[in-house]
Amino acid sequence: MAAAQRMVVFAVLLAAPGCAEDSFYLAPADQLEADPEVGTAATGTVTLPVSAAELTLDEPARAMLEAELGVMVPQVRLGDLSVSVEWSVKNLSDTDGSARVHVNGGNEWFYFDPMMFVIDPDEDEQPPPLMGDIPLSVPAGGLITGVFREDQFVEAAIDLELMSRGGLNPIAATLEIHEDTQEIVNPLGGAPVPRQAFAGMVRFDFVFTATTHMVMEYAVRVRDHRGIMHDQLLAAPAGELYPFAPAAIQPPAPTN
């Protein structure tokens, strides 16, 4: 099933003590449908609508921080946005079944696709996704719901940095907890990357599979701490959104 690209947007304003903070829900207009008789997984991608103008205003401060730290500093940093995903899975069949949801994605520089690390299907173990891959039991005609939490997305963002700028094996990155990591050191050299320069996730890739005919609906919730989301969200003209174009993280080159 092709990735669902059309989006509808819901926005609410939340008040925090002493400040205002915007919270947005980005929900695909098309649900993800998995049917084992078809034999393909359902996929969807959400890229956050970040304002190019807001990032331009921040550029002098970002450049100063980059000079101070001596490492590359991203436009969207860890902590600028808090992300969670609410989801539901409905079993359309009259048979009990199970489903799996994989969540991957990327920051402004790199994205993680586990399949990139399967060079030889007979020899290579596919790394786990950044989030998900837990079997979900769904009774016949039943509906289950769940949430990928904000702290899980913090962990995922740090795992991405460890895989890319830290050179860590994806299996090691995803199977250990790194939420409190304060610095990334690449064993191949280069200046240590402090947490101030960690990149936040701006792209989210979903893969949905099921053993019976099921559908998944999901909404990406974003709490904007820095005011960088475009005020028209996904209805904004493309030229007013920052053009994120991350590259896939590549497996290390063979040593022989």
pLDDT for 11 beyond 90? no
Bridge partners of 97, per DSSP, are 138
For 189: left if phi > 0, alpha if psi spans -120 to 50, otherwise beta; the answer is left
SS percent in the chain: helix, strand, coil, step 5: 20, 40, 40
Sequence-ordered list of residues with C-beta below 8 angstroms from that of 171, at least 6 positions apart, any chain: 125, 127, 128
Q: Quick check: 71 pLDDT over 80?
A: yes
**pLDDT surpassing 70 at residue 158:** yes
Q: Please give the average per-residue pLDDT across 240-254, as a whole number.
A: 88
Tokens standing for residue 165: 């700028």
Mean pLDDT value across residues 205-217:
97
Mean pLDDT value of segment 190-217: 96
Q: What is the pLDDT of residue 253?
A: 62
For residue 132, what is the DSSP state? Answer: E
CA distance 236 to 233: 6
Provide the percentage of residues in the chain whose pLDDT is more than 90. 70
Residue of 22, 18, 27, 9 whose CA lies nearest to 220:
27
The pLDDT of 123-150, averaged and rounded, is: 94
- In this predicted structure, the answer to whether residue 52 has a pLDDT above a threshold of 70 is yes
pLDDT for 50 equals 97
Can you tell me whether residue 157 is helix, strand or coil?
helix
Does 2 score more than 80 pLDDT?
A: no
Bridging pattern class, strands 247-248 and 110-112 = parallel
Q: Please list the alpha-helical segments (H only) found in the chain.
A: 52-69, 150-164, 170-175
Average pLDDT over residues 191-197: 95
Instruction: Using pLDDT thresholds of 50, 70 and 90, give the confidence band for residue 19.
Output: very low
What average pLDDT does this structure show over 74-84?
Answer: 97
**From 21-25, 83-87, 121-125, the region with the lowest mean pLDDT:** 121-125
> What's this model's pTM, rounded to 2 decimal places?
0.88
Per-residue model confidence (pLDDT) at position 189: 80
Q: Which of 9-13, 24-28, 42-46, 193-197 has the lowest mean pLDDT?
A: 9-13
Question: Does the pLDDT of residue 74 top 60, yes or no?
Answer: yes
95 SS3 class: coil
Which residues lie closer than 8 Å to 44 by C-beta, 6 or more apart?
3, 4, 28, 30, 32, 205, 206, 208, 218
Residue 57 scores a pLDDT above 60: yes
